Amino acid sequence: MNEAVVTILQGNGIQPSAQRVAVGEYVLRTEDHPSADQVWAAVRERFPMISRATVYNTLNLFVEKKLLRELILAEGRIVFDPNLGPHHHFIDEESGAILDVPWDAVSVDRVETLPGMDVREYQVVMRGRRRAH
């Protein structure tokens, strides 16, 4: 059992069962933005007997305990993001891949002054094509 993950879970009031650590080992470290079923597939490679319900339960628990964020950017799938700091997202329309865009790469102004809206959080969602740079 990965001690670093065990420590994170304990530090957030989560009993570190073998299944939860296996899910955490993948989803808390990925650079990706995987869906629940992608997490299930990835975790099953090393922990083949884990059930789908446990993966969903664990992901929802991690969201509740603020180890993950849920993003809803594309049709038919919720994706999970272990990058908790403020950042933006770029969606490659060709592959569906979701890329992080650093908070300071884009500048956004006047969000605080919108009449009638108390903005708790915001992000820029960009869509387009990836290209060589």
Question: Is 120 among the residues that bind its own copies (CB under 8 A)?
Answer: yes
Q: Rule CB under 7 A: which of 56-85 touch DNA? A: 56-58, 60, 76-78
Q: Which is nearer to its own copies, 4 or 125 (CB)?
A: 125
For residues 109 and 132, give the distance between their C-alpha atoms in angstroms, rounded to a whole number.
Answer: 29
Q: How far is the CB of 110 from its own copies (least distance, A)?
A: 5
For residues 21 and 69, give the distance between their C-alpha atoms in angstroms, rounded to a whole number.
Answer: 18
Count the Cβ atoms, other than its own, within 10 Å of residue 43: 21
Q: How far is the CB of 91 from its own copies (least distance, A)?
A: 10
Side-chain half-sphere exposure of 111, counting CA atoms within 13 A: 9
| Burial classification of residue 118, based on how many CB atoms lie within 10 Å of its CB (0-12 exposed, 13-18 middle, 19 or more buried) | exposed
Q: Rule CB under 7 A: which of 80-119 touch DNA? A: none
Q: How far is the CB of 104 from Mn ion (least distance, A)?
A: 30
Of these, 10, 37, 64, 96, which contacts DNA (CB under 7 A)? 37
Phi then psi for residue 101, to 5 deg, are: -120, 120
x-marked contacts with its own copies along 18-37 as a string, rule CB under 8 A = --------------------
For residues 9 and 49, give the distance between their C-alpha atoms in angstroms, rounded to a whole number.
Answer: 21
Of these, 3, 31, 49, 116, which contacts DNA (CB under 7 A)? 49
Q: Which residues bind DNA (CB under 7 A)?
A: 14-15, 17-20, 35-37, 49-54, 56-58, 60, 76-78
